[in-house]
Structure 1
Amino acid sequence: MTEGSTAPVTSSSFSDAFLARLDGIVGSVEREDKLRDWNSGYHPENLAAGVAVSPRSVDELRGLLALCNAERVPVVTHGGLTGLVGGTASAPGDLILSTRRLASGIEIDPIGRVAVADAGVTLEALQQAAANHGLSPGIDLPSRGSATLGGMTATNAGGIEAFRYGTMRDRLLGCEFVCADGTLVSDLARVLKNNTGYGLTDLMAGSEGTLGIVTRVAIRLEPLRPVAATALFAFATIDAALAVAQNLRDRFGDHLRAVEILWRNYAQTIAGAHGQSLPDIGDGAFLLLAETEETADGDSQGRFIAHLETLYEQGLITNVIVAQNSSQRDFFWLIREDADALYRMWPDVKSFDVSVPLANLGAYARTIEPKLKQLADPLGLYIFGHLADGNLHVMVGAQDDLPRQAIEAIVYSGLVEIGGAISAEHGIGLEKREALVSFGDPARRQVMATIKSALDPNNILNPGKIFMPASP
């Protein structure tokens, strides 16, 4: 389902008295008629609850959570709705809590290189605010214009720069959040060294709205450097692409901004969706998109091109195009980032994102590809990802309904045993709950369940996500 498409909005099951109490706390309650105009995101059930609130302050948020906890009303928090695993899906009887109005504040400390921002602030807004001080949040996503900082924290978002600066959990210095009963917890430190007990901020990162509602975050900032060079390579094998990726990391260090891999058919499909063709770059089955940033002494593009000439002489590369202008660079990034085009082609496309240790990446891909292609005919198989950290996105589309479990059995099998993960950056949500049971460690799940029970004893915060529902 593509972002913004029509989704079912059901009638609220709440009493008029409860809705009146909500209205008294938050000022307005959005009902079915108004919700039909909301962006429904990527999951068809995101707005199915039929009633939503958008608190304008932390105090309003605290009040409505205290009410919902007392009345045992489930709360499903919505940020930018860019998640792909059903983490924001709702149902009749749930209350949607949108953080869109918690977006008034961004404070930049250029000396300490820290930003403190509200949960509803988008990544793009933070990037722009930080750029005014020559800084960057050190994290970037294709959905930067809609992804919110609270949602990114809740899902521990990764993205393009994770291989050098880490995921959202690594970017956070602290956060403020509200517990299920309305208690406000401030763990909003602005310093790197904070050894004052349990890492509550780390706990919120990746909790998917099941432990608390994030209201503000403190994020580390990095120097913002201009792009020096953007190059598109073609390779016959993944191993050859990996060798060059590692070479570029060794040579350019943290001035290497991106190292992305695209299976050729994925890149061709995205280019075709925009009425364009790939540049003449040979017939290699794997494309590598690499981008470097300027250094303080300048002429970084010249040094990058000189290094490419050395790699060519060594036989490590044969086909490469360096973007000659901003339009060509934009096209290179378009064929990487516009995975939404696949949703328009395959309405029931199934998306997976996994982390694979780099040493196992080539063997893993060679194992899953032929098995996936045998599942259905015709089948669209598209793979791309963040090569430097081993994060692959696998998207499968078929004309007939293809059971998700059949794909999971191929994509997830053996991952944990080699040190990988069945979810790299999208979380568990609804869609990966069964996989977490099948492929995860039961003791780890039990510890997670214990934490959930302690912080949310009435199970009102995003119930049914991450954990399988209890048997009746």
Structure 2
Amino acid sequence: MSASLVAELRAACRNATVWDAAELAARDPGFDARNFGASALVRPRDTEGVAALVKFCAERGIGLVPQGGRTGLAGGAATSAGQVICDLGAMNRIEEIDPSARVAIVEAGATLGLLQEAAAQHGLDPGIDLAARGSATIGGMVSTNAGGIMAFRNGTMRHRVLGLEAVLPDGRVFSDLTRVLKTSAGYDLKHLFIGAEGTLGIVTRVALRLDPVAGASAIALVGVPDAQSAQRIVRHFLRQTGTRLSAAEILWQRFAALMQRTLGYAPGSLPLEAPCLLVLGLGADSMEAARAALEDGLAAVWDQAGIIDGLVASSDAQAEAIWRLREETEQIERMHHLPPSFDVSVPGGALDDYVARIEAGLKRVDASYAPYVFGHLADGNLHISINTDGPVPHERHEAIEDLLYEGLNEAGGSFSAEHGVGLDKRDAYERHADPVKRELARRVKAMIDPGNVMNPGKVVG
């Protein structure tokens, strides 16, 4: 992109911040070093500014890549020379919290943490939570159909979005900021943009459902022999009245041991020796009630579930220490340079068999492979990182993918649970997604974005 074209871009987007390639090179690209490979970044202040930018790029055939908090893990925000970034960071307003209707109207650049704080002032919550809550934006979460910790109870972003506004590839604004749950008025087109990773348009504003929050919550760390035992515990708490299960996270021993070492936890400070660890969150009217319910519930199911050890956090500091085990997953990156990481959904009660199968299969690929496995137990979403030091060759990476993804579609699972397809899973998408689904997706893309302006090369290619 020439200097004169960047100058034209500045003139066309007068109310926006514009950075050229040199300015981008001096700034932090976020989770993925490829995020700032573009020739320019534009940060509009409102929907009209986004529309002006889209029209500029569409008229010139310039690829446009939307970016939010730059916390994506599948290369969905990766850029290359000649492309322009649409940075939504300036569109970060919480426009309205309606406590009666339990609805929030937010701009796409607002972070999840900001929305959680605003909703909490009314005793409400977005019903979705992620470890990257401080940087992940609502628009990015919509675009990747983010799931997170509470998806087993509240669904993914697709179930939280009531309506949205998006700028189409020709610069027109699609406006469907519906604020009600019940609407049966023809095609519900907002779902085209949820999970599309910015390939069909740029989400600019969102109407989200909010839920009442429990008065307090307690945390427990429970050692069990396997995932099946952990699921028995989860089912027990889901059946209880008067409390609300808010988290059920599972950590296999290899991952837990790595976290214990890298976080510097003293041996014996937490029960970390079992083959699997279950992090439970339980909400109730008071902290005392939540802790008592956790203690009583675990005692009631102790023998049936084969519980090996357990601890109900007695302080905020202890609860934070337990959550750090699950959430500070960047420790894997610190131990292993660019380890291959995967994000799958495994149906029903197949978790133990799946983990055993992939561990044995990875040994056949390379005898040194010993995966770190953890994830969201109650919805079957597992995160898997391989203990390599440095990127693996393409053919080896494909072999690992095929092993991990084998049979998931047929069983009703998914090779990508919540991180999206982006750039990094494009090949896997072509090999493992249903061919009719892929063909329909290509037709939708060609119809809405015939010039391939919106996030080119991602998801459908």
The answer to whether TM tops 0.5 is yes
Is the 2:12–2:52 Cα contact (8 Å) retained in structure 1? no
CA distance in 2, matches of 1:89, 1:297: 43
Instruction: Give structure 2 stretches of 5+ with no counterpart.
Output: none
1:302 maps to 292
For the structure 1 residues 336 and 17, does the alpha-carbon distance in structure 2 shift closer, same or farther, using more than 3 Å as the test? closer
Of 270, 289, 314, the match for 1:324: 314
Deviation string, structure 1 residues 366-404 (Cα, Å, up to 9, x no partner):
111121234335445211000000000011131364232
Is the 2:29–2:70 Cα contact (8 Å) retained in structure 1? yes
CA distance in 2, matches of 1:17, 1:438: 39
CA distance in 2, matches of 1:252, 1:407: 43
1:20 aligns with 2:13: no
Is the 1:164–1:254 Cα contact (8 Å) retained in structure 2? no
Of 102, 105, 114, the match for 2:94: 105
Of 55, 59, 71, the match for 1:82: 71
Of 177, 181, 187, the match for 1:198: 187
CA distance in 1, matches of 2:307, 2:9: 66
CA distance in 2, matches of 1:201, 1:290: 34
CA distance in 2, matches of 1:88, 1:340: 19
1:260 maps to 249
CA distance in 2, matches of 1:456, 1:400: 37
Quote how far apart the aligned CAs of 1:73 are: 0.5
In structure 2, the residue corresponding to 1:76 is in which secondary structure?
strand
Deviation string, structure 1 residues 346-381 (Cα, Å, up to 9, x no partner):
121111100011222221111111212343354452
Is the 1:108–1:114 Cα contact (8 Å) retained in structure 2? yes
Is the 2:165–2:203 Cα contact (8 Å) retained in structure 1? yes
In structure 1, the residue corresponding to 2:72 is in which secondary structure?
coil
For the structure 1 residues 241 and 17, does the alpha-carbon distance in structure 2 shift closer, same or farther, using more than 3 Å as the test? closer
1:354 aligns with 2:344: yes
Is the 1:376–1:398 Cα contact (8 Å) retained in structure 2? no
Aligned counterparts, 1:258-407, within 5 A: 258-277=247-266, 279-281=269-271, 283-295=273-285, 299-314=289-304, 316-376=306-366, 378-399=368-389, 401-402=391-392, 403-407=396-400
For the structure 1 residues 220 and 254, does the alpha-carbon distance in structure 2 shift closer, same or farther, using more than 3 Å as the test? farther
For the structure 1 residues 384 and 118, does the alpha-carbon distance in structure 2 shift closer, same or farther, using more than 3 Å as the test? same
1:209 aligns with 2:202: no
CA distance in 2, matches of 1:367, 1:194: 44
CA distance in 2, matches of 1:315, 1:116: 43
Aligned counterparts, 1:117-132, within 5 A: 117-132=106-121
In structure 2, the residue corresponding to 1:160 is in which secondary structure?
coil
CA distance in 2, matches of 1:200, 1:367: 40
Quote how far apart the aligned CAs of 1:296 are: 7.9
In structure 2, the residue corresponding to 1:359 is in which secondary structure?
coil
Deviation string, structure 1 residues 239-265 (Cα, Å, up to 9, x no partner):
212222222222258700000000122
- Provide TM-score, normalisation by structure 2: 0.95
Quote how far apart the aligned CAs of 1:37 are: 3.6
CA distance in 2, matches of 1:85, 1:158: 15
1:435 aligns with 2:424: no
Aligned counterparts, 1:30-109, within 5 A: 30-109=19-98
Is the 2:230–2:305 Cα contact (8 Å) retained in structure 1? no
Point out the more displaced range, 246-255 or 202-211: 246-255
In structure 2, the residue corresponding to 1:366 is in which secondary structure?
helix
For the structure 1 residues 316 and 106, does the alpha-carbon distance in structure 2 shift closer, same or farther, using more than 3 Å as the test? farther
Is the 2:215–2:286 Cα contact (8 Å) retained in structure 1? no
Quote how far apart the aligned CAs of 1:180 are: 0.7
Is the 1:76–1:97 Cα contact (8 Å) retained in structure 2? yes
Is the 2:242–2:284 Cα contact (8 Å) retained in structure 1? no
One-letter amino acid matched to 1:91: S
For the structure 1 residues 384 and 253, does the alpha-carbon distance in structure 2 shift closer, same or farther, using more than 3 Å as the test? farther
Quote how far apart the aligned CAs of 1:223 are: 0.6
Is the 1:378–1:399 Cα contact (8 Å) retained in structure 2? no
Is the 2:342–2:385 Cα contact (8 Å) retained in structure 1? yes
Point out the more displaced range, 343-352 or 15-24: 15-24
CA distance in 2, matches of 1:307, 1:174: 39
CA distance in 2, matches of 1:447, 1:434: 17
Point out the more displaced range, 251-260 or 84-93: 251-260
Deviation string, structure 1 residues 293-316 (Cα, Å, up to 9, x no partner):
014897232232122221225464
Deviation string, structure 1 residues 46-101 (Cα, Å, up to 9, x no partner):
10113111011111111111111111110011100111110000011110110001
CA distance in 1, matches of 2:138, 2:7: 28
Point out the more displaced range, 402-411 or 418-427: 402-411
Quote how far apart the aligned CAs of 1:26 are: 3.8
CA distance in 2, matches of 1:142, 1:297: 22
Across the two proteins, how many residue pairs are aligned to each other? 456
Quote how far apart the aligned CAs of 1:432 are: 0.9
Is the 2:94–2:104 Cα contact (8 Å) retained in structure 1? no
In structure 1, the residue corresponding to 2:217 is in which secondary structure?
strand
1:245 maps to 234
Instruction: Give structure 1 stretches of 5+ with no counterpart.
Output: 1-12
- Provide TM-score, normalisation by structure 1: 0.93
Q: CA RMSD in A?
A: 1.8
CA distance in 2, matches of 1:435, 1:102: 34
Is the 2:339–2:390 Cα contact (8 Å) retained in structure 1? no
2:419 maps to 426
Of 194, 198, 208, the match for 1:219: 208
Quote how far apart the aligned CAs of 1:275 are: 1.5
1:413 maps to 406
For the structure 1 residues 430 and 204, does the alpha-carbon distance in structure 2 shift closer, same or farther, using more than 3 Å as the test? same
CA distance in 2, matches of 1:313, 1:131: 38
Quote how far apart the aligned CAs of 1:280 are: 4.9
CA distance in 2, matches of 1:282, 1:457: 54
